[in-house]
Chains A and B, each alone.
Chain A
């Protein structure tokens, strides 16, 4: 009798614990700005509306999403939902939300333009939605330019003109460097495209690097050698390590910073009223003045044990009013067509922000087709990594630029071979 009672108690205990797990949805999230606080607030409200679903928000560093999540996914594990930027390479791990969301047609109509960025080639699944669209672009320290008496270059200014103008500011204001560019292959791909570069071969496989890549790589190296570009960001790391140049801009150590629209909230929050700054769009190359589109997506993970609950959380976060609130509070560019079409009331008193967001919205019209193709091309991220590794070796004086070009082609070939 005693044994029987114990077994029943154990079974009840197990069932109740399973029931608790069944309602859990774990979200892996990273933040560039204030979006961690915003999503926490939104999810708290969701849980009040849906008491049976317990959403656990893991707000982790970007490096965790970039380096640890892929390993977890390869092992068939991971969170139930994740916010990711490596959309295409990991597309095999995303959950098809179609059977788990209330209205797939709504998703298709509002987020459908970016589904190919995050699903395997030829697939028709709905893996998630973009939490924001991003566009690479530059920021200028208006106050430093004014103090130096240098005019901020116009919308059609080339990269050389920007570096020259920022160089004058550097000399006048005795800055550490004129410009900073994030140590990221994604970031330099926009100017590469602007100089005529195209990574995609006719067979949709990586093409040997062309003059566009070579031209901009030479410029980066030259600017580093002449002290125009902040050397530390690129040289003080090996491999594919991501390093942002944002701190130098925030600390007014450079006059010009090339990064992207997602930095707007962070710049506003950290610079405050210390100086005035403006977004500039992307400087021009010989072919275009293109930025590189992209963004972060919230995707379901196909190894989840609770797809129905995942569908409910995703439906809530993709709701038009929720996306609008998220956008207005985070100062991101919305990916939701309905939200983008309507008027947005960005929640900030910072006068620099409104202008910056307008510039980025305007710059989306100048995106070159070669840049537009990259987010949906699965070889883009591996190429970004190879470019960063080799170009920074040249900057450090370890490789000649021509050796680096040869190595870039060999590395890409080796990556394609390894992935077969």
Chain B
């Protein structure tokens, strides 16, 4: 098989556009060839990965290591040199509980309150987010009038800053907000949405779904559009009911996209902070105090900051995220193997 040389294929405008690339390639060729002679093909792979690894190392790995070191130090000073080594004392403090399901029995009760609040939020928000994103994607995949407009409408909140999202919804939901004004005008009793525990929780879940569902719907929409049309045509010719088409064709073929969405939604739900912090401030009481806010409060917002305790809490949160992600990837791999068999 003969392959045309790029020079022969490119002509006119293409050749002009490619000229700088070709120049760079020609300049890089001698050192790269020398490098390949020394390191071999595997060495070249390592060489090309190096910049990425360096960025990952400096901006992800190094802060992680520093965070672990911080979690083993005490005091309020920020510089490591000024901090005292306390070993696992911060972790012991976090785990000092008579019963983990009763935060009040824990020395660091607000941490466990935040843990259980986050767990509750994750369960409810992830389920609703995935379902709403799926339904949205299914609807947007149909032949709607002004389909592009509706897609833009659902995607628009994703473009907003989380702080703006929090402020908009705070303006709507506060006691003298837009929603209560509407209720009042309709002769209904206004509700203190952000002061009642259950309503505040519902608001936190609802607002986070409103803000992000467009992004996840877009991923699922891409998956839906990748499903071959002939499968649906065959099902239609066989007279298959729509529900069966959904369960037997759409859902199985959408599974890889759903898994991606599930992992992303889960990670994002565990990390929830910005829009809820602006919306409810963690209240009423501590009803919407989630782990990231706890870490922020302890590490940055308290009058006497405790970076060690905040770091220990963040390490634990990171560990939970890793376990959850590995678990999900494990399930995905098992499904993939089963599919191959």
B-chain residues with CB within 8 Å of residue A243 when the two chains form the complex = 281
In this complex, the member of A241, A381, A384, A410 whose beta carbon has the largest number of chain B beta carbons within 10 angstroms is A241
> Which segment, of B9-17, B69-77, B207-215, faces chain A?
B69-77
- A420 and B283 form a contact (CB under 8 A): no
- A238 and B283 form a contact (CB under 8 A): yes
Across the interface, B195 reaches (CB within 8 A) one of A71, A86, A89, A235, namely: A235
- A67 and B175 form a contact (CB under 8 A): no
A153 interface residue (CB < 8 Å to B): no
> Which segment, of A126-134, A276-284, A292-300, A393-401, faces chain B?
A393-401
How many Å from the CB of B166 to the closest CB on chain A? 13
A-chain residues with CB within 8 Å of residue B308 when the two chains form the complex = 418
Please report which residues of chain A, range 62-108, place their CB below 8 angstroms from some CB of chain B when the two chains form the complex. 66-67, 70-71, 74-76, 86, 89
- A239 and B303 form a contact (CB under 8 A): no
How far does the alpha carbon of A154 sit from the alpha carbon of B301 in the complex, in Å? 39
A286 interface residue (CB < 8 Å to B): no
Across the interface, B76 reaches (CB within 8 A) one of A385, A392, A419, namely: A419
A-chain residues with CB within 8 Å of residue B286 when the two chains form the complex = 238, 393, 396, 398
Across the interface, B281 reaches (CB within 8 A) one of A176, A241, A414, namely: A241
A228 interface residue (CB < 8 Å to B): no
Given contacts A235-B195, A239-B289, contact A75 B281 (CB under 8 A): no
B192 interface residue (CB < 8 Å to A): yes
A-chain residues with CB within 8 Å of residue B200 when the two chains form the complex = 236
Given contacts A67-B301, A89-B303, contact A235 B78 (CB under 8 A): no
Please report which residues of chain B, range 280-316, place their CB below 8 angstroms from some CB of chain A when the two chains form the complex. 280-289, 293, 297, 300-306, 308-309
B109 interface residue (CB < 8 Å to A): yes
Q: Output the nearest chain A residue to B306 by Cβ-Cβ distance.
A: A418
Which range contains the number of B residues in contact with the other chain? 35 or more
A-chain residues with CB within 8 Å of residue B78 when the two chains form the complex = 71, 74-75
How far does the alpha carbon of A97 sit from the alpha carbon of B200 in the complex, in Å? 49
A-chain residues with CB within 8 Å of residue B287 when the two chains form the complex = 396, 398
- A232 and B76 form a contact (CB under 8 A): no
Across the interface, B284 reaches (CB within 8 A) one of A75, A235, A389, A414, namely: A235
- A237 and B282 form a contact (CB under 8 A): yes
- B301 and A236 form a contact (CB under 8 A): no
- A237 and B281 form a contact (CB under 8 A): yes
How far does the alpha carbon of A381 sit from the alpha carbon of B289 in the complex, in Å? 22
How far does the alpha carbon of A251 sit from the alpha carbon of B174 in the complex, in Å? 14
Contact string against B for A residues 366-382, beta-carbon threshold 8 Å, 1 for contact and 0 otherwise: 00000000000000011
- B195 and A231 form a contact (CB under 8 A): yes
Across the interface, A238 reaches (CB within 8 A) one of B109, B285, B304, namely: B285
> At the interface, is chain A mostly helix, strand, loop or mixed?
helix
- A239 and B293 form a contact (CB under 8 A): yes
How far does the alpha carbon of A243 sit from the alpha carbon of B192 in the complex, in Å? 17
How many Å from the CB of A145 to the closest CB on chain B? 22
- A235 and B285 form a contact (CB under 8 A): yes
- B175 and A382 form a contact (CB under 8 A): no
A351 interface residue (CB < 8 Å to B): no
Task: Count A-side interface residues using an 8 Å CB cutoff.
Answer: 42
Across the interface, A237 reaches (CB within 8 A) one of B75, B76, B107, B283, namely: B283
- A251 and B176 form a contact (CB under 8 A): yes
Q: Output the nearest chain A residue to B93 by Cβ-Cβ distance.
A: A414
A364 interface residue (CB < 8 Å to B): no
B247 interface residue (CB < 8 Å to A): no
How far does the alpha carbon of A407 sit from the alpha carbon of B293 in the complex, in Å? 20
Given contacts A74-B78, A393-B286, contact A239 B197 (CB under 8 A): no
How far does the alpha carbon of A319 sit from the alpha carbon of B195 in the complex, in Å? 48
Across the interface, B303 reaches (CB within 8 A) one of A74, A231, A382, namely: A382
- B300 and A67 form a contact (CB under 8 A): yes
- A238 and B282 form a contact (CB under 8 A): yes
A-chain residues with CB within 8 Å of residue B293 when the two chains form the complex = 238-239
How many Å from the CB of A212 to the closest CB on chain B? 21
- A74 and B301 form a contact (CB under 8 A): no
How far does the alpha carbon of A419 sit from the alpha carbon of B76 in the complex, in Å? 5
Q: Output the nearest chain B residue to A416 by Cβ-Cβ distance.
A: B304
A415 interface residue (CB < 8 Å to B): yes
A-chain residues with CB within 8 Å of residue B76 when the two chains form the complex = 418-419
Q: Output the nearest chain B residue to A397 by Cβ-Cβ distance.
A: B285
- B75 and A420 form a contact (CB under 8 A): yes
Q: Output the nearest chain B residue to A76 by Cβ-Cβ distance.
A: B79
- B282 and A239 form a contact (CB under 8 A): yes
Across the interface, A70 reaches (CB within 8 A) one of B107, B284, B305, B309, namely: B305
How far does the alpha carbon of A70 sit from the alpha carbon of B301 in the complex, in Å? 9
- B280 and A236 form a contact (CB under 8 A): yes
A403 interface residue (CB < 8 Å to B): yes
- A396 and B301 form a contact (CB under 8 A): no
- A238 and B300 form a contact (CB under 8 A): no
How far does the alpha carbon of A251 sit from the alpha carbon of B176 in the complex, in Å? 10
B-chain residues with CB within 8 Å of residue A231 when the two chains form the complex = 192, 195
How far does the alpha carbon of A66 sit from the alpha carbon of B302 in the complex, in Å? 9
Q: Output the nearest chain B residue to A90 by Cβ-Cβ distance.
A: B303
Across the interface, A232 reaches (CB within 8 A) one of B75, B110, B195, namely: B195
How far does the alpha carbon of A62 sit from the alpha carbon of B202 in the complex, in Å? 30
A240 interface residue (CB < 8 Å to B): yes
B-chain residues with CB within 8 Å of residue A67 when the two chains form the complex = 300-301
- B304 and A418 form a contact (CB under 8 A): yes
Q: Output the nearest chain A residue to B197 by Cβ-Cβ distance.
A: A396
- A74 and B176 form a contact (CB under 8 A): no
B147 interface residue (CB < 8 Å to A): no
How many Å from the CB of B263 to the closest CB on chain A? 29
- A396 and B304 form a contact (CB under 8 A): no
Contact string against A for B residues 13-37, beta-carbon threshold 8 Å, 1 for contact and 0 otherwise: 0000000000000000000000000
Please report which residues of chain B, range 217-235, place their CB below 8 angstroms from some CB of chain A when the two chains form the complex. none
A-chain residues with CB within 8 Å of residue B204 when the two chains form the complex = none
How far does the alpha carbon of A407 sit from the alpha carbon of B109 in the complex, in Å? 9
Please report which residues of chain A, range 29-88, place their CB below 8 angstroms from some CB of chain B when the two chains form the complex. 66-67, 70-71, 74-76, 86
Cross-chain pairs A/B with CB under 8 angstroms, 27 sampled: A74-B305, A75-B78, A75-B79, A231-B192, A232-B192, A232-B194, A235-B195, A236-B195, A236-B281, A236-B283, A238-B281, A238-B283, A238-B286, A238-B293, A238-B297, A239-B301, A253-B176, A382-B304, A389-B110, A393-B285, A396-B285, A414-B107, A418-B75, A418-B76, A419-B75, A419-B76, A419-B304
Q: B-side interface residues toward A, CB under 8 Å?
A: 74-79, 104, 107, 109-110, 174-176, 192, 194-195, 197, 200, 280-289, 293, 297, 300-306, 308-309
Q: A235-B285, A239-B297, A389-B110 are in contact. List 5 more A-B contacts (CB 8 A).
A: A176-B175, A241-B301, A381-B304, A384-B303, A396-B197
What are the 10 closest A-B residue pairs judged by CB atoms, nearest first? A396-B285, A238-B282, A237-B281, A74-B78, A381-B303, A238-B289, A239-B297, A236-B283, A398-B285, A235-B284
